[in-house]
Amino acid sequence: MSKTKIAAAVVWVVIGMGIVWWMWVQWDAGERRAEPQKWEARRVVKSWQGTGIKTTEPFEIKSRRWCIKWENRDSLLQIFVYRTSGEFVTLCANVSEKGKDTSYVYKSGNFYLMINASGAWKVTVEEESES
Alpha helices in 27-116 (DSSP H): 29-33
The C-alpha atoms of residue 26 and residue 69 are separated, in whole angstroms, by: 23
**Better-predicted residue by pLDDT, 129 or 38:** 129
Residue 71 — very low, low, confident or very high, per pLDDT cuts 50/70/90? very high
Asked if 115 and 56 count as a contact pair (C-beta separation under 8 A), the reply is yes
SS3 of 16, please? Answer: helix
How buried is 17 (Cβ within 10 angstroms: 0-12 exposed, 13-18 middle, 19+ buried)?
Answer: exposed
The backbone region for 78, taken as left when phi is positive above 0, alpha when psi lies in -120 to 50, beta otherwise, is: beta
CATH number 1.10.8.100 given to 29-128: no
Mean pLDDT of all residues in 23-36: 50
Domain boundaries, the chain: 29-128
